[in-house]
Structure 1
């Protein structure tokens, strides 16, 4: 119960006690007065009647005595008039039954008026002829007492209503600073820092508000220090780059010459580099600024290519570059791509670009002769996948039996995806996410989707078809089919209440998809699992408003919203407070670098946990592959883990009890 209600109730109780006491005292006083009036009235009547009857007694006029008594009694103010002789014999008696109109019987029983009987002597000369007895009728006294009590009760009720209304308003006004203090405390829980102005005039409340404002400022300062500390580690991992050398014709001619000489391009590494925001840079700063950016990027690419003889480096068009490193071992590709992305990202620090997101790099490795067209197609798909990961990201694909069987070109992909969606050939795999402190406790199962091609039953992972689904505008339909399949799962068979499903932020911009999802979530049966909707961090940042609105809608039905691949973006941590996800999954790149207690990744993840926990956001590590990583994560206060060290993805039919 709130303090305001307690004070209102306390005030009303005090008023009720005061009213009851005053009412009882006043009521008893009025009752005593009326009893005295009845006694005085009876005594006056008895005295006057005794004197009047004395003359009749001397004359022994019995008829006159009776007529005088009847005359007095018929006035109706008397209950009993009785005349007795000196021996006590009743000579004449008149009685009237007590009948009180317009007064409840319970009131008469509650407040009896026992009017005393008055008497006076009737003299016949010097001797006593008898005695007259008179008792007043209480009807009028009851009526007066009832009306007086009713008026007093109505008056107190009116006063009580007045006290309740205006006293409540007064208390609300006086307690307003405490209500604002409560809002401040709630805001701090939401990691929103508000100061209360102006200060209240009441001395005690003023001191409380000053202390609360001071605490709010300190908490805000602590959070900002933690955020800056964490952002420093993240910016250490990522930057931005770009410019041009040869042209597209030069590059294609060189590649085809090698193809003709060796019946297909030999093994090696192809890197497709894309520099962003050239047009915006040219509009804002002029063409010279764009040229400077391209030249700086070309110097970096030349530095990367210098250790590799016979390499091919060219500017294809605009901000697109290609670097082919023939006969290079495929295991060097991640290191080359990481060094190149890091070097290019540093151009943003030199203020040569308009944004931190300078580049994306798509990498293809092959250890067998591969057609030039296949290399370009695969590098383009790898570039699209990198763009989904976040700013200055890179992605490596290998030419394998699976990729050789992929549909070639957008039109084939479109036909394949449309056929899959129509026939609903979707397969769901699941991988458990467990609590770090207790691996036997499953937090949720993350669902991974695969599509199955109709003609040969070939399965393709999400990373292979999602870029084309995005480009072809089919991603919301794909998300819907995956969710419909997931909604058929039974939490009792899974052994866990929550399943995590990745959906594209692009789907949130589809009105049809949003309406369907809202209706589907409302209609979920009790056996259906609770859903944790995961968004890739880079996509969520680009759609902050729609993702936040989505979170607010699904939370009313008990579902969760989370960020996946957290740490790939260079955005500030302030968006975390804006989005308020239930948890974040740290990108596996940080987990892979978690090798010992002195690694930068360890410090970054530790500071990230501190910031996230301060705003009630759980932290889950992806890509946990070794027991050493697991032990280090325990020491960093990470809430959950996911990876091969826990369990591999399995078909959902094989996932009872979260395993």
Structure 2
């Protein structure tokens, strides 16, 4: 029970006690007053009538006596008038039955007024001729008391209601700081750090609010320090300070993890951009000019690749940049290289102090999964070929022995995805996420989608999702996948929680969002809890719409999660507002643990610390060896996912 309610009920109790006390006291005083009035009224009448009857009694004129008594009885309001002789025998008597209109019987029984009987001697000369007894009728007294009590009760009800309303309002005003303290404490539990700027005037409450404000500031500073430590670790290990891109280690981790995860079902490209004559520029114009040039080239690379999905950008060393793009056709790779070269040439034109021969671009396009050293070697060879072509030239070399790579270009994939959408040839697979401490306990099942080609071959989401993004077919594809999941109630009802991958780009389609919310509302109560999983990079790019989507699905009992956590170079502050149910550490960092680099484990532990400070579950993905498990357990990871525990299994939907 709230303090406000307790104080309110206590106030009601006090008002009731006051009312009862006043009500009883008023009842008793009115009752005593009316009894005295009845006695006085009866005594005055008895004295007066006895004097009037004395001459008549001397003559023993009974008719006249009756007439006089009747006249008094009919004119007044008496219960009894009785004339008795000295032997107490009734000479004449008039009585009236006690019947009281307008007063309930329970009230009459409750107050029980007994009117006093008054008496007076009737004389005949100097001799007592009899005694006159008169008792007033209590009906008027009952009616007077009843009406008085009704008026008092009505007044108290009205006055009490006003007092209680004012008291309730006053308590709310007085206790508002405590309510704000409660909200502040709940906000801290949600890892939201609110400061009360308006302090209460009440000394005790003011001290409580000031203490809560100090604690909130300290907790917020703890989270900020923890996030900064993780950010510094990430920048130190994976960040190039000059360009804002990743470094060689970042590229190695990201590309290696992607190639290994995709196995044979992969195609993509690696481009290398080399700033020519960087050393000469540094010597002639200073290192600041050289760094500014590198920064400008890095900005161009970031800007021209920001619309692409699954991209890793890095500055390798000196003036060498690397661009890794998963799931891109050879023609798109060539187009990208030409666009980059055009932008860099424009940079050379704008910077008159720079040499006209500003850069070369060499790249390799592949269809079958190579190794990173192979890609770097092929890209370096292409870079040499670009140099031989002349200043500001590019050259793209296919890695695959199959020269007919254009067959699976944009047109082929567009038609293939259109056919898949028409036939709805989507297969669902599931892979469990295991509790890191109890590795036989499933935290949730992640549902993975595969498209089915006409040949019957399965194509993983790692391949077709980036292509669907570029072809602007992703929301339709996500809708088909979710439709299959929503309709698989019989199979999925055996699971407690499922995770479903959705592209953040799909959320820009308001019709898609409306459809998802509508379908969620139709799901039966036995359907499992759904976590909509978004890649961190895309979620940050579409932060507002992802937050809005999270709020909508949260109202229906579902939530969101983040995949590839730590991959983007985004400040972790967004977690405070987004509040996903879990984050999945990118497999690139998980894989690096095998190289026994101490700062990798320390970085993962820092990431976990940031997430745990917001009560966010931390999952490591891409776990394939027991050695990784042992290292991850030391970093406070909550759950694990990978081929070590189970490979994706097809659901028979």
Q: TM-score, normalised by structure 1?
A: 0.78
Task: Indicate yes or no: 2:451 matched with 1:419.
Answer: no
| SS of corresponding position for 2:643 | coil
Q: Following the alignment from structure 2 to structure 1, what is the Cα–Cα distance between the partners of residues 636 and 497? A: 22
Which residue is 1:317 aligned to? 338
Q: CA deviation at 1:79?
A: 0.6
Is residue 531 of structure 2 the alignment partner of residue 532 of structure 1? yes
Q: Tell me the distance in 1 between the aligned counterparts of 2:273 and 2:29.
A: 100
Q: Which runs of structure 2 are paired with 1:442-521 in the superposition (5 Å)?
A: 442-454=442-454, 456-490=455-489, 495-521=494-520
Matches within 5 A, 1:228-247: 228-239=228-239
Which residue of structure 2 lines up, in the alignment, with residue 98 of structure 1? 98
Separation of aligned partners in 2, 1:298 and 1:22? 91
- Aligned partner of 1:389 in structure 2 is none
Aligned equivalents of 1:526 and 1:47: distance in 2?
Answer: 90
User: What is the CA RMSD across the aligned residues, in angstroms?
Assistant: 3.2
For normalisation by structure 2, the TM-score amounts to 0.79
Deviation of residue 467 (structure 1)?
2.0
- 2:42 matches 1:42: yes
Q: Which runs of 5+ in 1 are unaligned?
A: 243-268, 276-284, 305-312, 341-361, 378-406, 655-659
Contact 1:79 1:96 (C-alpha < 8 Å) held by counterparts:
yes
Q: Is the 8 A contact 2:431 2:649 kept in 1?
A: yes
Tell me what 2:197 maps to. 197
- Contact kept, 8 Å, 2:365 with 2:398, in 1: the verdict is no
Judge which range, 645-654 or 442-451, deviates more: 645-654
Asked whether 1:428 is paired with 2:428, we answer: yes
Q: Name the CA distance, whole Å, in 2 between partners of 1:87 and 1:118.
A: 18
- Distance of 2:573 and 2:321 partners within structure 1: 36
Superposed, which structure 2 residues align to 1:63-212 within 5 Å? 63-212=63-212
Provide the rounded CA distance (Å) in 1 between the counterparts of 2:202 and 2:408. 77
Q: 5 Å matches for 1:587-606?
A: 587-595=586-594, 599-606=598-605
CA positional deviation for 1:573: 0.6
- Pair 1:51-2:72 in alignment: no
Number of the residue aligned with 1:370: 402
Aligned partner of 2:562 in structure 1 is 563
Corresponding residue SS for 1:221: helix
Q: Deviations over 1:243-287 (max 9, x none)?
A: xxxxxxxxxxxxxxxxxxxxxxxxxx9732479xxxxxxxxx999
Q: Are 1:489 and 1:528, in contact at CA under 8 Å, matched by a contact in 2?
A: no
Is contact 2:294–2:319 with CA below 8 Å preserved after alignment?
no
1:197-236 alpha-carbon deviations (Å, 9 max, x no partner): 2322211111111111111111111111111011112223
State whether residues 561 and 580 of structure 2, in contact with CA within 8 Å, keep that contact through their aligned partners in structure 1: yes
Could you tell me whether the CA contact under 8 Å between 1:271 and 1:364 is conserved in 2?
Answer: no
Task: Say which SS state the counterpart of residue 41 (structure 1) adopts.
Answer: helix
Indicate the SS of the match to 1:193: coil
The change in CA–CA distance for 1:324 and 1:63 in structure 2 (over 3 A counts) is: closer
Structure 2 matches for 1:219-368, cutoff 5 A?
A: 219-239=219-239, 271-273=270-272, 293-294=296-297, 300=318, 316-319=337-340, 321-323=361-363, 330-333=370-373, 336=376, 366=400
**What aligned pairs does 1:373-412 form with structure 2 within 5 A after superposition?**
374=405, 408-412=408-412
Query: Distance in 2 between the 1:417 and 1:180 partners?
Result: 54
Q: 2 CA distance for matches of 1:98 and 1:465? A: 100
1:14–1:294 CA distance, 2 compared to 1 (3 A): closer
Match of 1:186, SS? helix
Return the alpha-carbon distance in structure 1 between the equivalents of residues 336 and 542 of structure 2: 32
The answer on whether the counterparts of 1:314 and 1:322 sit within 8 Å (CA) in structure 2 is no
**Equivalents in 1 of 2:585, 2:413: separation in Å?**
31
Residue aligning to 2:277: none
Structure 2 runs not aligned, ≥5 long: 244-267, 275-287, 300-314, 323-333, 342-360, 381-395
Q: 1:217 to 1:292 in 2, by over 3 A?
A: closer
| CA deviations over 1:453-486 (Å, ceiling 9, x no partner) | 12x2222111221222112211111101111111
Q: How many residues align?
A: 552
- Counterpart of 1:637 in structure 2 is 636
Residue of structure 2 equivalent to 1:653: 652
Q: Give 1:526 shift.
A: 2.9
The 8 Å contact of residues 333 and 363 in structure 1, kept in 2 or not, is answered as no
CA contact (8 A) 2:272 2:321 kept: no
